[in-house]
Every structure is written in C-alpha cells, then in structure tokens.
Structure 1
Amino acid sequence: MSVTLIETDVYRYAAILLMGLTFALRKAHFRPALTDWLAIVCIAWGVFALLRFLFGLISAGEKGASEWLYAFAIFFPAMGVTLQTSWHLIKPILLAFFCSALVLLAASTPFSAIVAGEYISPAFHHNSIHGAVGCGFIFIGAFYWALHQWETGSSARTKAIVLAIALAVIGLAIFNIYGAKSKGVWLALVPAVGLMTVTTLVYLRTKTVLAAAIAGLLLLSWGIYEVRGNVAHYGGATLNSVVMIAERLDSGAPLEHVMKEAIESSQTPMSLDERLQLWTNALSVIAVSPIFGSGNGWLTIWRTTSYASVPYTLLHNGYLEILVRYGIAGLAILALIVLSGIYRVYRASSAGVISKSAFACYLTLAVYFGFTILSNSNNRLAIGESYALLFAATCFACSMRLRSRLGQRSDVVPDISGPSDAIPARVQG
C-alpha cells in the first residue's frame, strides 16, 4: 500500500520478503492453494507470460517493454497464503498506514499553490498523474476503513480515533487530486463516489453514518462548484475534443479517419493528441494479431506505425497494453481472474468472513482502477503492480478463510475480519 504515497519498487522486495517469511518461518503450506482452480489459472498464466517473454527475447532479441511484469500472477496464490497467515496484523497495519498517510500528505501538500489553482504533483511520486491515482486509492480506502468500524461495532473510542484520522486523510487526498489536474482520475472518481454512496445506503442504515455520508457528498459537491472555473480551464478543452470525436463517430465516420482528424486538429490539446497517436499505433499493432497478440514483438511492429515518432511507448491505456501483447484471449483470461476475485470476496463478505464494507472497498477500488487505466497505463507502473498483488492476495486469503469456515479446512480462526458469530445479529445486519 505504500506505493500510493511513495513511488518506488520497494514493494517488490517487501512482497518477496513477506512470502519468504511466511513459508520459511511460519511453515505455511502452499499445496492446498494448488487445489484451487483460480490459483492454477493464475500460475499457468504467469508461467505462460514468462515463457513467451523468454522465447521472444532469445529467438528474436526483442525484449519489449515491461513484458515480464505480466508474470507476476505466479505469485498471486502465495500472496494469498501470506495474507492469510498475517490476518491478525491487519488492524495495526491499517492504523499505521493511514497515520503515515496523514503525516506524509500533510507534509507534502503545497496548500497555497493548490488554493491558487496551480498544477502540483501529490505526495512523493514521479509525476502528478501517478500521485493523483495514489491519492484516489487513499481516499477510497480511508472512507471504507471508517465505515468498517461502524458496521462491525467497534468501541466509541476506536470509532472516534479512526474517524478523525480518516476525515483528515480524505480531505488531504481530495485536495491533492484537485491540485494534480488529472482528468483521468477525476473521471475515475465519478463511478467510485457513486459506488461509495450506494454501498453506504445499502449496507449501513445507521442514521449517524448516513447523515455524515450525505453531508460529505454535499460538501464535495460544493467544493467542486467553487472551483468549477479552474476545473473547466484544465479540462474544458479535452472534454470538447472528446465530445467532437464522439459526435463524428456517431455520425458514422470510420474510427481511423476520426482519430486522424483529431490528431491533425489544432483544437486538440497536446496531452489528448499524444494519446490519440499512441492509441492509433496500438490499434495498428493489434490488427496484426488480434486474438493472441504479438508478445515481445509488438515493439517491432510499433516502429512501422504511422506515429512511431511519438516520444514514448507507454500506451496510456491499460487495456491496449494487454491487447498488443496478448490479444483478446489474454484480455479475457485476465478479466476472468479479476471477475472471479470480486465474486469470491463477495461470497466471503456474505458469509461474514469479512465485513460488507471491506467488500465494498474491494469492489470500488477495482472499478476505480479500471477507469484510471482508460487514459493511463497504470498497470505498467509500480502502483498498478502493487495493487494487483494486493487484489489477488485478498481474493485468495478470503477464499481460504471461507473454506475454513465451511469446514473444508482448519486454518486460523478469523478474529478481525468483520462481524463474527459473537456479534449480535442487529450489528451484523
């Protein structure tokens, strides 16, 4: 989770260390995870991605760009076992993380610059977009962390402490997201906030919580209204160009012609113009091998495309990143893993293994991330890699704990996951 604040590759070494400690010192057993069909799919996909990368590297000398990252799926089940054996540490880890987030955001936020409407880069990231994506994760996580306390019947003292920290973190995160001027993150937060509102209404009917959530939504709406001029200044031209492209497509004009016109138009903002060039190139590469993709060789084809002179090969669309490498078949397999993960965590929530707020957080983060990669290749960055590991770890840990609860296994008994059998029915509901 630290990648949301400080953009480094330390999370990779942390993951390796955690898995090593789990299997070497805690004597955790990995074999039961291999009886899980989803674990087999993840490992098989990871092995396939790694072998395909090595084949392309050895046979054609083409190393591609960040190809080996797709082999991370090999570690998904092991990360689940690691989270399962560390379950009792989740409460203090979350407290430490959000306290750290509060300190780091407070120390790094250029308040005067943001108030003046200037462009800033949040927290400790390489650029503003990465920082805005990280702040979005923190905002959503802090919100559900607070809701979890009410749902599970935490003590009044715990509620007060968590709420104070969460509100401060949420305020700083939203403030930094506004300052980052990332239109993609602004767009991704629309469905995320919608889900946050709906899940609060569905899962929590406590009057105090509902009143607070409604007040927060009204406050956010008022804040957006107050800075509407600055938002329009940074996002208006992009929105107008997107609307014009949509209208041309709706009129029946071919996609390639519409994109070419937009690229050549002086009205198209530079950031969108570059993205359109990247996406046009990507579509040309995909057309060569739409079903299975071009593996490492996609870069070789890229050099022959119409806009090969564009200064980078980060496609600024996570779905295109997958399609150029693995085609529709690869995208379908990854979609299966994601949707299965969401369904499994939902089942765990329904069985009381975790709170409903925890599942709502899991779902909202998935939707939010899915929208952020429409305009950025976050799945090729540290924040996306780290999120993938955490997403998978939660899925497999919940699966193991659910199986344990159903009597199929005898793993560690849940102690902090959500409403337990000892909590009165009125609290669980």
Structure 2
Amino acid sequence: MTVSIPRSQTKPATLDFVIAILWLGMMSVTLIESDVYRYAAILLMALTLMLRKVPLRASLTDWLAIVCVAWGFLALFRFLFGLIVDGERGASEWLYAFAIFFPAMGVALHTSWNLIKPILLAFFCGALVLLMISTPLSTILAGERISPAFHHNSIHGAVGCGFIFIGAFYWALHQWEIGSSTRTKAAVSAIAVMVIGLAILNIYGAKSKGVWLALLPALGLMVAATLFYLRRKTVLAAAMSGLLLLSWGIYEVRDNLAHFGAATFSSVVGIVDRLDSGVSVQRVLQDAIASPETPGSLDERLQLWANAIDVISVAPAFGNGNTWLTIWQTTPYRGVTYTLMHNGYLEILVRYGFSGLAILALIVVSAIYRVYRASSAGIISKSAFACYLTFAVYFAFTILSNSNNRLALGESYALLFAATCFACSIRLRSGSVAQSSDVPLHTADLPNAVPVRVQG
C-alpha cells in the first residue's frame, strides 16, 4: 500500500510553524500594542526571499507594485532631503516609506497561503483567551471608561476590538459560504460569537465616539454581505438575532452613551449646520473653539484641525514635507499640547498635499478592486472580500477623528491590507484556481495540496 501526501507536508514543518507565528505577530497589535509587527514583517520578508521560491519577476512588472515602491522611495527621499538639507526631522515621516515593502509582503502571504486556515484559528482562539482575561466586566457594566485588551490607550484598544469584531463575523460567515463540515461550522461559530460579544463589550467600555461612528457603516456592510452572499435561513436568523440583541443592548445603555457622546454629537451637528449655511470653515472652527459648550476633547481636535488647515494652505498641492512642524509653530493654536492631529487625512495633507492623498487613494481603491476580482475568480470567498472591504471602510472612518495611520494599528493594518492585495494579484496571474482542480473553489485550506490516494 502506498499513500501520496499533500505536497505542503513535504515542506519543513518548523519553517511553516515559524512563518505562522510571524503572521500572528503581525495581527497581534489588535490586542497587544507593541512594535512586534515590525520585526515580524521584516522576518517574514527575509525568510520568504531566502527560503521560499518566490515569483519576483511578476511582482516587478506589476504596475501597482511599481507605484507603491516608487511612492515609498519618494517619501523616504523627501524625508532624508528635509533631514539632511533643511535640518528638519518632522514627526513619523519615515512611516510613509513603508509602501516599499507592500509587494514583498504580498509575496510572503502568497507563499504562506496554505497556512491561512490554522493561523486564523489560532488568532481567534488567542483573542478569545486574551479578551476573557483582560475584560473588566464589572467596570464596563458600571458605565466607566476602560482601556481594552493590552493597549496603552482606550481609543487604540477600541479600534483594535473593532477589527476583531468584524474579522470574527466574517470568519464564521466564510465557513458557511464554503460549506465546511457541521463540526467545523459549530466550533468556529461558537468561538466567533464569544469573541464578538467580548469585543462589543470592550468597544462600549472604551467610550470612543469615533469607533462607535466607524462601526455604523461597517455594520451596514456586514448585514449586506449576509443578505447578498449567504441567504441560508440559519445564517440569516442568527444574524438578525445578533442585530436585535445588539440593538437591545444599545437601548439598555442609552443613558450612558448619551452621557459620554451627546455633547459631542450636538456640537458636531451645530458645526455642520453652520458650514451648510455658508459660513467659512475658519470662522466656524474659531467660534466652536471659543464656545464653552464645546466638549474638551472636541475642542482640542478642532484646534489641531484649524492648525492643520493653516499648514496645508502653505503648500496644498504637494505638502510641506518635514517642514510642516516648523510652520505649525506659527499657527494660532500652537499651544495645544500635541501635534498628533487626530485625523489621518490631515496627517497626509500637511506632508504631501492633495497629490499625495490622491496617490494613496489610487493604491487603496486599486487594491480593493483586485481583491474583488480575486473573489470573482474563486481565489478567495466572497465573505473574505466583504471582510477586506469592511475593514477598509471601518479604518477610513476611524481616521476621521484619530491619527490611526500613525499608530502601530494603522501601520500593521496597511501592511496586511497590501499583503492581501498583492497575494491575490499573484494568484490571479498564475491562475491558481484553474491549476488546483482538486481543491474546492472557495477555500483558504491548502491550495497547493494534492489528493490522498490509497493504492493496494
């Protein structure tokens, strides 16, 4: 009797284990705020280039890869020029050069494709354990503010829990879409439900109005994905029950939500009304900052945004590079305690202007389209694409009120976002689905495996 085993099992198990741990390190920033993801990304790219067979030629001729690398080198050159020639250091300028590594991260994910299933299982099991350990249930139920999981800041923790909530939902939805076994669906759904429940509790406890706002369009996309991609009665009933339970929970804590968010909401509505009436942005911001009815946290943000608008006006097309901090010292509210602008779009505009924002928008939109094509071709499930899109929309809303693109969460997300795009691009070009006829069409499980045959 002879048995053929999956080709992936002939690869060194130790290397696969190390690679999986590194991908978990990339994702760990949603739970534990640290720089582990940076070292994990470097090691992933290094191990891939040294020990794996990688399709470099295709990556080098990919126009989007060229755009990303060119943008990264431009950001790096501009930072070094400002540092060496002008003596301007700026603040976190070099982070925008990370785009250099986007295609390489895609190659690393492509060569790790067979590990996605166990990585996700390990991540959500780990998330469940860490959230169970770290969630202060009595404090949350008392209506007090908490800092979720192992983060240095309640807002950062809330953003991370938002990613976990969305990811767990689509992880479970994916199992139903691809027709996993009854046992697998039951186990994954049980873990996902517990993770979602704990994530929602932590998001509520963090009292981050920006994350609450960002979850609204995310929830809309999650409902739409369930209705469009998976119309099974069991799943629809479960999703509707979850939505009703969430609505009931929000109703029960409405007074606490109003206590922390009503004043901010009223102030924002008033600002929007004045802008609609034709009053200049500068005047509206000045009046809102001077008003005693503006909450303190919003007042600080308005000062930061007013300063940023002044800096942007100096060089709106291409931005100010490293010199933006020097110009900042001439703005009317330069006395505000920090220069983290609490708006990711303004962070980009002060440095690179509208041209830089347009290039980054091109990269993001192109990446979403490529992953959509991958889902249409059967390389990934439709649930996986919906997750990718929901993550993008959620993150885009979180940076309206926080500079998450300058934080560990944003950096890690950008690398994972790009890795998914370029891994899908490689598999689209290589026709992975067509070449793997023994593998179910929508699966993340061992795409390079061959069937086991018993001969006697």
Q: Does the alignment reach a TM-score above 0.5?
A: yes
Is 1:238 the counterpart of 2:264 in the alignment?
yes
Is 1:322 the counterpart of 2:348? The answer is yes
Alignment pair present for 1:255 and 2:281: yes
Q: Which residue number in structure 1 is paired with residue 363 of structure 2?
A: 337
Q: What does 1:157-172 correspond to in 2, within 5 Å?
A: 157-172=183-198
Using the TM superposition, give the Cα deviation of residue 252 of structure 1 relative to its aligned residue in structure 2, in angstroms. Answer: 1.7
Counterpart residue number, 2:421? 395
| Corresponding residue of 1:23 | 49
Does the 8 Å contact 2:169/2:192 carry over to 1? yes
In the alignment, the residues of structure 2 paired with residue 182 and residue 158 of structure 1 have an alpha-carbon distance, to the nearest angstrom, of: 35
Is the CA contact 2:303–2:336 (under 8 Å) kept in the aligned structure 1?
Answer: yes
| Superposition map of 1:400-411 within 5 A | 400-405=426-431
Q: Give CA-to-partner distance per residue, 1:358-413, whole Å, 9 cap, x none.
A: 00000000000000000000000000000000000000000111111189x98x89
CA distance in structure 2 between the partners assigned to 1:266 and 1:184 by the alignment? 22
1:158-237 alignment runs, 5 A limit:
158-237=184-263
- Mapped partners of 1:125, 1:164: distance in 2: 26
Structure-1 separation of matches of 2:178 and 2:137: 36
Distance 2:437 2:372 in 1: 19
From 119, 131, 144, give the equivalent of 2:170: 144
Partner Cα distance (1:415, 1:19) in 2: 27
Does residue 103 of structure 1 match 2:150?
no
- Check if 1:50 corresponds to 2:88: no
2:174–2:384 contact (8 Å) kept in structure 1: yes
1:261-280 equivalent positions in 2, closer than 5 A: 261-280=287-306
* TM-score, normalization by structure 2: 0.90
How far the C-alpha of 1:244 sits from its partner, in A, is: 1.1
Q: CA deviation at 1:248?
A: 1.4
Deviates more, 1:364-373 or 1:18-27: 18-27
Change in Cα spacing, 1:189 to 1:414, as seen in structure 2 (3 Å) is farther
How far does residue 419 in structure 1 lie from its aligned partner after superposition? 5.1
Q: How far 1:31 sits from its partner (Å)?
A: 2.5
TM-score of the pair, normalised by structure 1: 0.95
Q: Write the mapping of 1:26-41 to structure 2, written as runs, cut at 5 A.
A: 26-41=52-67
Contact kept, 8 Å, 2:320 with 2:352, in 1: the verdict is: yes
Would you say the 8 A contact 1:132–1:176 is kept in 2?
A: yes
Question: Which runs of 5 or more structure 1 residues have no equivalent in the other structure?
Answer: 421-429
SS in 2 for 1:353: coil
Change in Cα spacing, 1:201 to 1:237, as seen in structure 2 (3 Å) is: same
May I ask how many residue pairs the two structures share in their alignment?
A: 418
Distance 1:335 1:233, change over 3 A: same
Tell whether the 8 Å contact from 1:88 to 1:415 is kept in structure 2 after alignment: no
Q: State the alpha-carbon separation in 1 of the partners of residues 377 and 147 from structure 2.
A: 42
| Contact 1:401-1:414 at 8 Å conserved across structures | no
* Aligned match of 2:372: 346
The Cα shift of 1:414 comes to 9.6
Task: Check if 1:356 corresponds to 2:382.
Answer: yes
Match of 1:125, SS state, is coil
- Matched with 2:442 is 418
Does structure 2 retain, via aligned residues, the 8 Å contact 1:292–1:330? Answer: yes
| Superposed structure 1 runs of 4+ greater than 3 Å apart | 412-417
Which residue in the other structure is 1:426 paired with? none
Q: Distance in 1 between matches of 2:56 and 2:151?
A: 35
Paired residue type of 1:71? A
RMSD: 1.5
Residue pair 2:315, 2:353 contacting (<8 A) in 1 also: yes
Q: 1:15 to 1:414 in 2, by over 3 A?
A: farther
2:332 aligned with 1:306: yes
Paired position in structure 1 for 2:452 = none
Kindly indicate whether the alpha-carbon contact (under 8 Å) linking 2:58 and 2:426 is maintained by their aligned counterparts in 1: no
How far 1:258 sits from its partner (Å)?
0.8
Residue pair 1:278, 1:307 contacting (<8 A) in 2 also: yes
Aligned to 1:60: 86
Which amino acid in 2 is paired with 1:257?
A: R
Tell me: CA distance 1:414–1:351, structure 2 relative to 1, closer, same or farther (3 Å).
farther
